[in-house]
Amino acid sequence: EDAMAISCNTTFAYLGTQLEVEELQQVSNSLLFNRSINFPLSTKQSKFVLNQYSELWEIPQTAIGQGKTEITPLHNLMIFAAIANKGVMMEPYLLDHIVDSYGNVVETFQPKVYKEVLTIEEAEVLSSMLRGVVVEGNGRQLRNLGIEVAGKTGSAEFKAGEAAHAWFVGFGPYEDPEIAVCVLVENVGSSSDYSVPMAKKIFEAYEKYYKE
């Protein structure tokens, strides 16, 4: 829990070396890494590449989300929404409904379940850890909102000498989630300086709309 809250790479690098590479790859595949996502717009596949032929250095690097790991903002959001949704991943879609020029609804779109990617127990454990990120970790800027938020900060290094990409992915309200948010700011450095403040504005806007 502490390692998650403060983004301690060393802990997760070690944990990665204690796992069977093939099983770690299978879990990643079950979460839609190395798979196409059914979505109306073009989106790339996220990649998690480990196998029995991987070099020793690749395992801890990949386990912490670096190395050969690549993930799209859409996919990252789908995983966090599944955590918020008790382990059930939904298919992403763009439109709620279509109206004609007179305001009549001519077509509606309904949420569709992709599949259960986590057990309820796994989702609850992860949710608790992600809440810890906000309460006592790198997401503390989100503590004083009108709704309780859970989430994860991240910095993705992609090229030597370049500032990292800043990530935040999370959801709220914590006890009964209604909204999931993913913010990626490219090539700027710290997530605390960029992606977290942007996510805060989104949650604040949601809170205002929700209360009204």
Report the pLDDT value the prediction gives residue 121, as an integer from 0 to 100: 97
Please give the biggest Cα pair distance in the chain: 63
Global confidence as pTM: 0.92
* Among 50, 14, 51, 46, residue whose Cα is nearest residue 32: 46
In which band, very low, low, confident or very high, does the pLDDT at 68 lie, cut at 50, 70 and 90? Answer: confident
* Among 30, 21, 28, 130, residue whose Cα is nearest residue 69: 28
Residues 122, 125, 127, 131, Cα dihedral to 10° = -170
Does residue 208 have a pLDDT over 80?
Answer: yes
- As a whole number of angstroms, the distance between CA 31 and CA 177 comes to 20
Query: What would the two tokens of residue 97 be?
Result: 């409904």
Report the pLDDT value the prediction gives residue 152, as an integer from 0 to 100: 96
Does residue 211 have a pLDDT over 70?
Answer: no
The model's pLDDT over 156-197, given as tens digits with 9 standing for 90+, comes to 888 888 888 999 999 999 999 999 999 999 988 777 788 999
Report the pLDDT value the prediction gives residue 159, as an integer from 0 to 100: 81
Report the pLDDT value the prediction gives residue 171, as an integer from 0 to 100: 97
Mean pLDDT of 137-142: 91
CA distances from 28 to 47, 50, 187 (A): 9, 10, 26
Does residue 113 have a pLDDT over 90?
Answer: yes
Arithmetic mean of pLDDT over the chain: 92
The model's pLDDT over 190-207, given as tens digits with 9 standing for 90+, comes to 777 889 999 999 999 999
| pLDDT over 70, % of the chain | 99
Does residue 86 have a pLDDT over 80?
Answer: yes
The model's pLDDT over 20-47, given as tens digits with 9 standing for 90+, comes to 998 999 999 999 999 999 898 999 999 9
Neighbours of 87 (CB within 10 A): 18
Report the pLDDT value the prediction gives residue 212, as an integer from 0 to 100: 58
Report the pLDDT value the prediction gives residue 157, as an integer from 0 to 100: 82
Tell me if 51 sits within 8 A of 22, measured CB to CB.
Answer: yes
Report the pLDDT value the prediction gives residue 33, as an integer from 0 to 100: 95
Question: Residue-wise over 102-136: b if at least 16 C-beta within 10 A, else e?
Answer: eeeeeeeeeeeeeeebbeeeebeebbebbbbbbbe
